[in-house]
Amino acid sequence: MRQQDSLDSLSLPPETLSDSEETSGCQNLDFKYGLKAHCSSLNILDSLCAHPDEGPLKAASPKQQWSYGHFQYSPSCRGRASSQTYSNGQLPSPSLIYTSSEGIEDAADRTSFEVFCETIRPTFLHSKHGINLANIRTIACNAHLVTEELMPAKESNSATRASNSSLATPDLTIIVVSYNTKDITLAALKSVFDQTKRTVFELIVVDNASSDGSADAIADMFPTVRLIRATENLGFARANNLAAEQARGRWLLLLNPDTIILNGAIDNIVEFGEDHPTAGIYGGRTVFADGRLNIASCWGRITPWSSFCQAVGLSTVFKGSNLFDLEAMGSFQRDQIRQVDIVVGCFLLIQKTLWDRLDGLDTSYWMYGEEADLCLRARALGFTPMITPHATIVHLVGASSSGRASRTILIAKARTTLIRRHWSSPSVPWGMLMMWLWCANRRIASKVLARLVPKRFAADAEKWQAVWDSRADWLGGYPRPTPGHS
């Protein structure tokens, strides 16, 4: 059992406080088998101590016996480490970071708490703008810690306890499905923790039997993330449904591994969802790595007219046209709050109650199209999906689907399935004809161009030949789901 951890001295100047400064206004945040943060009014802890009489932070004496596992930050000695122990209600002096699990009898709980301490430690040591309470609570959630708050006796009335008893219940469950994208997945997860300050969340990663060491790397770098190691590639829909079954949040956020969260995007989209409950499904704005707009955060639905425009190339020739490029939503720059037909699954927030009502994603889709199907089914129930430009992420696009032809085939199969499922029966033959014509035209055009400029278009000709050769498969679409498909 570890009684105390000592840290190497940081390259920060030590700061001293008088006894009165150290004890006055000190806040204690207590989690059973979780956390206790001891702080005063130093700037580094402004966000933790700014409102000591609100929320879970309550005034308490720093000199009280802590009978449960606790984590202590003592700002009066940030520049030094200590070898002293904490016992009999006395504060170690000086002490930078101190953890103890002596009050935790259960071995599994003790291990969970110690993992939690190791994870939260960098948050305290490296914060430049103050310790953020939401991050602390989030890490507690992801560590699966029992978090019954220990309130001082004078404040332990039933109303106070009721307002603080749900600290470990996340508002949001973030689901990431990875497949052989180790480095970018790690970057995505880091951005989630770095950029999400106001929302209490849990993070579940489903690794679809990656062969690049993704699962081990995630477990090593993010020990509090709930990692599901699939023994086979489950596909996007099945993997998300599997994670959603274990979700505890009121909201679900589907997040691609090839994304980077910018400027509090997760906080912003959750707040947007709270303000627009009738939408049910929500998206944001996506950009490429260089900052250029990536329009693929939302789409218009496939219609008989849009399928014709795509088949004969009008949507390509008149890109951005409000008449001919309807699925791309014309000239819309994703810079306004707007109702949309489809929110893309790279960054899709949905009410958990609606998710359950829709029975999750349709697992007859392998990849692509699942979120379109989900949104169209939600719209059929009267919901109106929306996007907000105030939630912006970087999306690298298609990092987990290798091969140009294979990706196009998957998209074609998803499109034909959407047409078969969501169009009226008399319209479906038209849709199938337009899909056939779409591929045929591109195959012919790429062959001609490859003969004229082989270095530039040979790869395109090869790709469209492969897509054409697979037309019998993708024109059939995915089989209809059976009961209990998710």
- pLDDT value of residue 271: 97
Give yes or no for a contact between 421 and 373, defined as CB atoms under 8 angstroms apart: yes
Share of the chain above pLDDT 90, in %: 60
Q: Which of 296, 302, 326 is nearest to 314 (CA)?
A: 326
Report the SS3 class of residue 151: coil
At 366 the pLDDT is: 84
Longest Cα–Cα distance of the chain, Å, equals 85
pLDDT of residue 88: 34
pLDDT on residue 141 = 54
Residues 310, 439 contacting (CB under 8 angstroms): no
pLDDT digits (tens, 9 = 90+) for 233-277: 999 999 999 999 999 999 999 999 999 999 999 999 999 999 999
| 167: confidence class by pLDDT, cuts 50, 70, 90 | very low
| Of 156, 136, 160, residue with least CA distance to 29 | 136
Give the pLDDT score at 396. Answer: 87
> In terms of pLDDT, which residue wins out, 65 or 392?
392
Q: φ and ψ at 82, to 5 degrees?
A: -135, 150
Using pLDDT thresholds of 50, 70 and 90, give the confidence band for residue 445. very high
Residue 108: what pLDDT? 60
The set of residues, in sequence order, having a beta carbon less than 8 Å from that of 85 and lying 6+ positions away, is 3, 4, 92
The dihedrals phi and psi of 216, each to the nearest 5 degrees, come to: -65, -40
Contact 300, 327 (CB under 8 A): yes
What is the mean pLDDT of the segment spanning 285-305?
95
Distance CA 429, CA 433 (A): 6
Backbone angles phi, psi at 475, to 5 degrees: -70, -25
Q: Are strands 172-178 and 201-207 parallel, antiparallel or unpaired?
A: parallel
pLDDT at 224 over 80: yes
pLDDT over threshold 60, residue 392: yes
For tokens 């940081």, the residue is 10
pLDDT of residue 111: 63
Residues written for the chain: 486
pTM of the model: 0.69
Per the rule left: phi > 0, alpha: psi between -120 and 50, beta: everything else, 367 is beta
- The per-residue pLDDT for 158 is 27
> Which class in CATH covers the domain with range 172-297+334-395?
alpha beta
Distance (Å, whole) CA 306 – CA 112: 54
pLDDT at residue 404, as a whole number: 84
User: What does the domain layout of the chain look like in residue ranges?
Assistant: 19-164, 172-297+334-395, 404-476
